[in-house]
Amino acid sequence: MSTETTKPNEKKRKAVLAGITLAFIAAGVAYAAYYEIVLSKVQETDNAYVGGNLVNISSQVTGNVTEIRADETQMVQAGAPLIRLDAADADVALAQADAKLGAAVRQQRQRFADVAQYDAVIVQRKLQLKNAEDDLARRKPLAADHTVSGEEVDHARQAVEDARAAIAVAVKQEEAAKASISGVNLAQHPAVQAAKADYVQAWLAARRNTILAPVSGYVAKRSVQIGARATPGTSLMAVVPLDQLWVDANFKESELKNIRVGQPAKVEADMYGSKVEFHGRVVGLSAGTGSAFSLLPAQNASGNWIKVVQRLPVRIALDAKELKEHPLRIGLSTTVSVDISKTDGPVLGAAMPSTPVYTTEALTQPLQQAATAADAIIARNL
């Protein structure tokens, strides 16, 4: 190979290497600029999952299941009947409460009548006292001229004392009778009101044999079966309101420096991929890490301690309109990007609001109907 051929190739190789070097430098500068302008203003994690309210449905009374009106994956509206229990026991208890309320009213009627009876007894005792006093007054002059014996006068005097004592006993009995009824009429007597409250309780128990949905949502985790014995507090199924979802993004503790409440966030769910983007905002940071709130917290005071980077859940509220268009499910995996360009927001969440966060009217009972039915029973027995 000649020297003339080698020199042009050498120059060409140097030019190519220089171009590659410049390209790498330009790429590095571009990445540095992109990092400074974009990446440094965004905190991202793929350790994020959809969360939501899991409303457990349980019975308020004991009974055997006779109907199941909703199953897994089905949509239910708030107030819709989900489960019905056998109402036989509740009906019997309601009839017993009805009878006890009537008996209480009649018992108090007797006590009110006893007061009038004791008034009549006092009048009678006063007449007996007057007769005894008149009898004693007639015998005293006769005893002076020995027409009657002194023993008869003593008997007459003793009869007066007995009549006075009988009046005192009758007065005390009247006071005792009045003490149990004074200040109230028969319908407002505490004993009647207690029996009325028992009736209302039995009336509520009879209505609660139908278990209603407290919120609108989709049925999940149904464990109840026909014929099973439902007891208060035992979970029968759950209702998940899919319009009340959020995302818990678990950021590393080293990534939390610039995260603030109120910062905008973008969420991509693996269910929809990058074609669908949800928008939200940071509403709060958890009060502790996942390991601190676990069933068995880590004991870092042991001798074989190894430092593990902790993660803290950051709550991301989602746009309700976007959730309606592209429904999510509890537990789905997501990727969250938080815009941390503005760090003037608070680090801790807002204080408890003055209004309830969640409410339901589905479980409200028309107690006025029960009170009206109880008043009708009282009126029948007055």
Q: What is the pLDDT of residues 280-321, one digit of tens each?
A: 999 999 999 888 888 878 777 777 778 888 999 999 999 999
pLDDT tens column, 321-343: 999 999 999 999 999 999 998 88
Q: Are residues 197 and 132 in the same domain?
A: yes
For residue 112, the enclosing domain spans 90-204
Tell which residue, 241, 263, 378, 252, has the closest CA to residue 316: 263
Ranges of H-type helices in the chain: 3-37, 88-144, 150-179, 190-207, 320-325, 367-381
**pLDDT beyond 80 at 18:** no
The verdict on 81 and 223 lying in the same domain is yes
Alpha-carbon span 285 to 350, nearest angstrom: 10
d(CA 232, CA 254): 46
Q: Considering the entire predicted model, what is its pTM?
A: 0.75
Residue 60 shares a structural domain with residue 126? no
One domain, residues 164 and 104: yes
Same domain flag for 124 and 180: yes
Whether residue 80 lies inside any domain: the answer is yes
CA–CA gap between residue 340 and residue 207 (Å, rounded): 53
- pLDDT at residue 377 greater than cutoff 80: yes
List the single range of 36-40, 71-75, 320-324, 371-375 with lowest mean pLDDT: 36-40
Residue 128 domain-assigned (yes or no): yes
| DSSP 8-state class, residue 253 | G
And the tokens for 52?
């939501």
Residue 151 has pLDDT above 90, yes or no: no
Instruction: Report the domain count for the chain.
Output: 2
State the Cα–Cα distance between residues 114 and 97, nearest whole angstrom.
26
Query: Could you tell me which of 243, 244, 236 has the C-alpha nearest to residue 220?
Result: 236
Does 218 lie in the same domain as 169? no
For residues 65 and 133, state if they share a domain: no
219, 149: one domain: no
Same-domain status, 77 and 122: no
Q: Which two tokens stand for residue 73?
A: 């994956």
Kindly report the average pLDDT of the chain as a whole number: 86
